[in-house]
Chain A
């Protein structure tokens, strides 16, 4: 989710924000600025942190200048993402920058609230450099962030009086927004104390748990937003793909076995071209989709299929391989290791087509690495 979307959501929960509006053309940016008080901030909307340093946040003093900066940002690439929109805001006079966020702690198996006396930078970096400036509070998911938890964190940031109460409300609103939308992470960074003693969310970021999208139909369109076209194609077939820069194509079942296979290729001196986990119980169609994806990649010189069948059936895998070889004309060396459920049937099917099947994963990896190195 980009800043603008996270902010729109926080606004619904009553979190104070700078005045501003979204623009997708320089002209629109000009219009937005005319309805705001100068000076202005023009911010590229890309779903990554650290965009300030990458030149994605610029400042202007007139609507004309806003228009010019917007035309510079729109269409530019920042940290690998094309800028499709900019957020034009009134520039806030900041006295102090803080950090507040809620995230999942894998070690504590629960949510944690994190407050930092220093904001505007990566909170993990602050925690490493100056741990005394960061407070992490473990939350009981059945109790949530109680008002006294919020006050404890505000107090830690160094506030009392009305400021303490203002932060209490703000932290609770952020927490509620995060939980209501199944956020793995919701953070306001920097959370700014303004020169007139108010608190505003200068920047906000939110990562929603993909697995919870069924509860948020309005966010369904976000499902594949950060994925490459190949990753989307794989995900639509219940597979998982990651592109790598080598020349040995890989098709495997199970995340751990796939990772271990890539590691072995590397250990034996080869370079994997991809991670492709076809998951459990793959049909012959899924296997065929996977094999086509890998063989049709120009950089792939040779491919390895490494299947250890549990709920995946070797005969289905064999059928998928044969169907693919019948349907595409690309021919590249293929090393196949196939063991487990219905292994005999799978081997027989492939043997009839003149395809040799191996039993040992390590032997198969050695062989494919050697073929890729020789080039045939």
Chain B
């Protein structure tokens, strides 16, 4: 399938959003150069790739894959350093409590600077024919983040900010350039939140969700007659039912997304005692094959 160059990965907390973002970056980097932008201060997507980037520096993972940390704090610092060019003062200010007042007094500033940065990175990605995978905040905060652009347009009907907000907005709503990917796990709550997030992005913000990725899907091991035969074995039966239920729950989600015009992909549950870069690489290969299939 054809994907836009910029992919914004979000999902309910606990669905393995960062793992999925990392796996997606691996899958895409098998076709063209790819950058993973980690928006999480803890850099869990970068860690899933086995990389630890410093603030705003690019770390190479493979020849075609690199990682960069993008934090609102760093964007805000850059903004302030532009405005207060005397380094000693800007540094001191960044450490001071006054800095806290400034950010508190300008709600949305951080989010807006972050979006503007993503727009610029997205432009570069298009020019260089690269993919940009963004490990975004969890769904609630992600929708809040994305709505800042249209919000700013509302309160600043004219002027520079309006023009900036307008170009961010056009970038986010251009399905050829920008697309969201929602992650979920095989549980009702996560599926519902993914559907709601996709709907909120489409209806409120005009942002297209290009795919839903179901993470942690166990393979189907038992058929119905086998499950029936298991009833005398309490613990084993429960464990078997649990595995099958997760598999079925995952299967039920696809048609719900199909009804909303969103293709669903699934990643297997990794039944391994550790979940490290090796496992993430495997998930990347699975996703690559799935994406090629469509």
Partners in one complex: no
Residues of B within 8 A of A (CB): none
Residues of A within 8 A of B (CB): none
